Structure 1
Amino acid sequence: MNIFRLAGDMTHLASIVVLLLKIHTIKSCAGISLKTQELYALVFAARYLDIFINFISLYNTIMKFIFLGSSFSIVWYMRRHKVVRRSYDKDQDTFRHVLLVLPCLLLALLIHERFTFREVMWSFSIYLEAVAILPQLVLLQRTRNIDNLTGQYVALLGAYRALYILNWIYRYFTEENFVHWITWISGLIQTLLYADFFYYYFQSWKNNERLHLPA
């Protein structure tokens, strides 16, 4: 494992910690899109179908359990916890995420590395992860004023993907036959979706101001 992969995993983990910290400590999910959290839960469920049958390393297995467990627990808290769910802004979080799921599934059936159930589900998870942040970004655009923990959560998610791109570049030049077009293109699209958010995030950080997105 190279430093970019490790940094990407730790940044991804940090984003989850920040979100769970907000939910457990403040008992609030204000500014968080349940639609995005449900998409991430679906992403990990589809990607880690091999969790009990394909052992790569202890690190790999632990990270799979962490991402699966945390994603489903966040969805549960936002849907079922009496205090937390009161802060969920259902009226603003109206992105029809099923419109993302179906095209990604169709694309996975058409473009995959091998036509097996697990490989199609893996491709589906890659395509879906690329666009899963869209409901969250739309919600932030609607609410405009964003609290620090929510801003940090989204920023860490974007940084995780950017670090994974560096990981792929590193592996391309250091490993033979390392070519994964599905992952590369999907990851690039996902990173580009964060571009506008990062511009305003760094502006607010530079000026020591609360993050505010324009209308």
Structure 2
Amino acid sequence: MRAEKRLIHAATMWVRRQPPKVKAFLAVVSGMAALVLLRFIVHDHDNLFVAAESVHSLGISVLIYKLTKEKTCAGLSLKSQELTAIFLAVRLYCSFVMEYDIHTILDLATLATTLWVIYMIRFKLKSSYMEDKDNFAIYYVVIPCAVLALCIHPSTSHNLMNRIFWAFCVYLEAVSVLPQLQVMQNTKIVEPFTAHYVFALGVARFLSCAHWVLQVLDSRGHLLVALGYGLWPSMVLISEIVQTFILADFCYYYIKRSIYTSFICIRRAARSPSSLWSGISEDAVV
């Protein structure tokens, strides 16, 4: 156990000492390795998109537990939840009029729980809401996404307005987590359940990005043609990659902290089993 801990610590310290370009290269290599692994493990790559939406719903469930059990919304960004509700509502509308399938049902469930979270933050738990920390101006992302959707959208046979709506929700989803990350940066302390939620978003984004990348590889690029011509197919992939990279840094530190906390708990349990739970509560804050 000590040898494994020393190895992980040495690897972590080596990564931390590397310049940003090397870290970015390592992140890209790790992502490509994960994609290769998923390509061989998951035979139907459409399941990756379903898994991504399921993980997102799981993250929302973590927030529901936090709000109902702890009776506080400290550390949560209302604006991030509102952006999430906007793109989910738009995507749900597009799903109904363009392609009614399992994704429509998952989006409906996720939208319902997101609206409940917004209700709890705005009314039931308003006293614990950190409004001064949640100071991200959402029009900085909503307006550019709307303009971009007007300029670059699918070229399929669907109604023009529906195609613009679909592009808008794709772009908005890519940046909807920015207010939450800013709240975490402003507060300097990340509440554990909020960290679990953001990590779930990171996993969901990676799975969604993997779905698109693997689908393009499997179809030898024909999927891009099916999505339409022009810049739209590339923008879909870019949006997925951007959101994945936005959350990649947080997920790295989340995993690092989780591994460190696990080792601490194991060591304390080995010395005194009764100290295990105290160790977890003591090291729970990221």
Aligned with 2:223: secondary structure? coil
| Candidates 53, 58, 62, aligned match of 1:9 | 53
Q: Is the 8 A contact 2:92 2:104 kept in 1?
A: no
More helix by share: 2
| Candidates 79, 84, 95, aligned match of 2:136 | 95
Aligned to 1:24: 68
Which shifted more, 172-181 or 125-134? 172-181
Q: Is the 8 A contact 1:201 1:211 kept in 2?
A: no
**Partner Cα distance (1:163, 1:197) in 2:** 16
Q: Is the 8 A contact 1:204 1:210 kept in 2?
A: no
**Partner Cα distance (2:235, 2:154) in 1:** 8
What is the Cα deviation at residue 61 of structure 1?
3.0
**CA offset digits 1:89-131 (Å, max 9, x no partner):** 0111111111110111011001111371111011111111111
Identity of aligned residues (%): 33
Q: Does 1:64 align with 2:117?
A: no
Q: Does 1:202 align with 2:255?
A: yes
Matches within 5 A, 1:1-215: 2=45, 3-54=47-98, 56-57=100-101, 59-81=102-124, 84-114=125-155, 116-175=160-219, 177-179=222-224, 180-208=233-261, 209-212=283-286
Q: Is the 8 A contact 1:15 1:154 kept in 2?
A: yes
Aligned with 1:68: secondary structure? helix
Larger Rg: 2
The count of corresponding residues between Structure 1 and Structure 2 is: 209
What is the Cα deviation at residue 175 of structure 1?
3.4
What is the Cα deviation at residue 182 of structure 1?
2.3
Change (3 A) 1:183 1:148: same
Question: Mind listing any 5+ residue stretches in structure 1 that lack a counterpart?
Answer: none
**Partner Cα distance (1:37, 1:60) in 2:** 20
Q: Is the 8 A contact 1:123 1:182 kept in 2?
A: no
Q: Is the 8 A contact 2:134 2:183 kept in 1?
A: yes
Q: Is the 8 A contact 2:53 2:107 kept in 1?
A: no
Which shifted more, 126-135 or 1-10? 1-10
Q: TM-score, normalised by structure 2?
A: 0.68
Change (3 A) 1:61 1:7: closer
Q: TM-score, normalised by structure 1?
A: 0.89
Q: Alpha carbon RMSD of aligned pairs, Å? A: 1.8
